[in-house]
Chains A and B, each alone.
Chain A
Amino acid sequence: EVQLVESGGGLVQPGGSLRLSCAASGFTFSSYWMNWVRQAPGKGLEWVANIKQDGSEKYYVDSVKGRFTISRDNAKNSLYLQMNSLRAEDTAVYYCCSGLYYFDYWGQGTLVTVSS
Chain B
Amino acid sequence: EIVLTQSPGTLSLSPGERATLSCRASQSVSSSYLAWYQQKPGQPPRLLIYGASSRATGIPDRFSGSGSGTDFTLTISRLEPEDFAVYYCQQYGSSPPITFGQGTRLEIK
Contacts and interface: CB of A to CB of B under 8 A. Distances in A.
B14 interface: no
Nearest to A95: B44
A59 B97 CA distance: 8
A47 B96 contact: yes
Nearest to B32: A101
Given A44-B103, A45-B88, A103 B96 contact: no
A104 interface: yes
Contacts of B44: 95, 97, 106-109
B88 A44 contact: yes
Contact of A101 (B43, B50, B57): B50
A109 B39 CA distance: 13
A62 interface: yes
Contacts of A61: 96
Interface string B5-17: 0000000000000
Interface in B94-109: 96-103
Contact of A102 (B57, B90, B101): B90
B45 A44 contact: no
A92 to B, nearest CB: 13
Interface centre among B90, B97, B100 (most CB of A within 10 A): B97
13 contacts: A44-B102, A45-B100, A46-B100, A50-B97, A62-B96, A100-B92, A101-B32, A101-B35, A101-B50, A102-B33, A102-B50, A103-B47, A103-B90
Interface of A: 35, 44-47, 50, 59-62, 95, 97, 100-104, 106-109
